[in-house]
Amino acid sequence: MAFAHKLAWAAALTLACQGGQAAPADQPITEFNCSSCKEWNAPQKPFNIYGNTWYVGTAELSALLITSPKGHILLDGALPQSAPLIEKNIKALGFKLKDVKLIVNSHEHFDHAGGIAALQRRSGAIVAASAIGARVLQAGVIGKDDLQYQPDQDPRIDKVPKVQVVGEGETLAVGGLALTAHMTPGHAPGGTTWTWTSCEHGRCLDMVYADSLTPVSADSFRFTEAPAAVAALRASIAKVAALKCDVVVSTHPGFTDVMAKLQARKGDTNPFIDAEGCRNYAAGATKRLDERLASESANGALPKK
Ligand SMILES: [Zn+2]
């Protein structure tokens, strides 16, 4: 599948999941109100990305574990119903959920933040997010500043009682691990890309967990009428492209070909190491945004879902 096609596919699915019935706290988001969630939440065997960085997410929703002898960091919690799968994956790798000391979020949408509350309760970890992300995690509902906001939306995110706020360039430490926040608003107002270093046999690489950069919105929103929204997304795309980046994993693994790279991994060859990974991801995001703008201009309406 071409990258743009994959982005369009994911954008349509994400948007499709915005309507429907309210889900009570800790209840799975069901097929009734999210036709794609079952597919997104298909189990995935955990695997190593590089060094102490592991993929512990589901088939189509990323979650990463960065490990140390003095505690681990978990990036994202996927859907509420993903939490048991993520816990199982952490155990399958020989690690303990109780050793997760910090959970961070890429952005405050139900498919990346929905499982955080359950994983926090089970681990006792500190949860950290951008200021807007923290506000949404604590409120359990996205704000009017989110392009996907709809007045009749679901309270999709299980509330997280306490969230530590991180700012641009701030680094969070767990044991010897150091995780840095880069604000990448656009897809979601609290969007955050995270960077750290992982080493293998003395070779240390720049790791990136890149936030979603897709122009997904409520039906009534027009990017062509919102230059600030376009500028924010373009600035975040440029920021991701400019990061020191040897290995990139995106919030939906398909955006950065995670499963294809896993399949191609053989012997000493690690396809996750890709100096062009962040720039390619950014280029695909620019293409998708340009297509959205062209489509709005041509049709005066959003692309057909
Ligand atoms: Zn999203």
How far does residue 214's CA lie from ligand 1's centre (Å)? 8
How far, in Å, is the centroid of ligand 1 from the Cα of 103?
18
Q: How many residues does the chain have?
A: 305
Question: 237 and 282 in contact (C-beta within 8 Å)?
Answer: yes
Q: Output b/e per residue, 53-92; b: 16+ Cβ within 10 A.
A: bbbbbbebbbbbbbbeeebbbbbbbbbbbbbebbbebbee
From 120, 139, 43, select the one nearest 76 (Cα to Cα): 120
Judging by DSSP bridges, how do beta strands 64-66 and 72-75 pair with one another? antiparallel
Predicted pLDDT at 176 = 93
CATH architecture, domain 2-299: 4-Layer Sandwich (3.60)
Q: String of b and e for 221-235 (b: at least 16 CB within 10 Å)? A: bebeeeeebbebbbe
* Chain mean position to CA 104: 10
Q: Taking a C-beta distance cutoff of 8 angstroms, is the pair 178, 197 a contact?
A: yes
Listed in order, strand segments (DSSP E) in the chain are 47-50, 53-55, 64-66, 72-75, 100-104, 126-129, 164-165, 171-174, 177-183, 192-200, 203-210, 247-250
Q: How far away, in angstroms, is 184 Cα from ligand 1 center?
A: 12
* Ligand 1 center from residue 168 Cα (angstroms): 20
Return d(Cα 180, Cα 72) in angstroms, integer.
Answer: 15
Give yes or no for a contact between 125 and 160, defined as CB atoms under 8 angstroms apart: no
| Three-state SS letters, 171-188 | EEEECCEEEEEEECCCCC
In the chain, how long is the greatest CA-to-CA distance?
Answer: 56
Q: Do 257 and 49 form a contact (C-beta atoms < 8 A)?
A: no
What pLDDT sits at residue 25? 47
List C-alpha distances in Å: 58 to 111, 160, 251, 256, 298.
11, 21, 11, 15, 37
Please state the φ and ψ torsions of residue 93, each to the nearest 5 degrees: -85, -5
Q: What is the pLDDT along the chain (305 residues), one digit of tens a residue?
A: 233 333 333 333 333 333 333 344 457 776 556 778 899 999 999 999 999 999 999 999 999 999 999 999 999 999 999 999 999 999 999 999 999 999 999 999 999 999 999 999 999 999 999 999 999 999 998 989 999 888 877 656 889 999 999 999 999 999 999 999 999 999 999 999 999 999 999 999 999 999 999 999 988 899 999 999 999 999 999 999 999 999 999 999 999 999 999 999 998 899 999 999 999 999 999 999 999 999 998 876 555 44
Q: How far is the CA of 182 from the centre of ligand 1 (A)?
A: 17
Distance from residue 144's CA to the centre of ligand 1 (Å): 15
Calculate how far, in angstroms, residue 14's C-alpha sits from the geometric centre of ligand 1.
7
Whole-angstrom distance, CA of residue 246 vs CA of residue 285: 19
Q: In whole angstroms, give the CA distance from residue 237 to residue 241.
A: 6
Q: How far is the CA of 150 from the centre of ligand 1 (A)?
A: 14
Instruction: Output the CA 111–ligand 1 centroid distance in Å.
Output: 7
Three-state secondary structure call for residue 27 = coil
pLDDT for 267 equals: 86
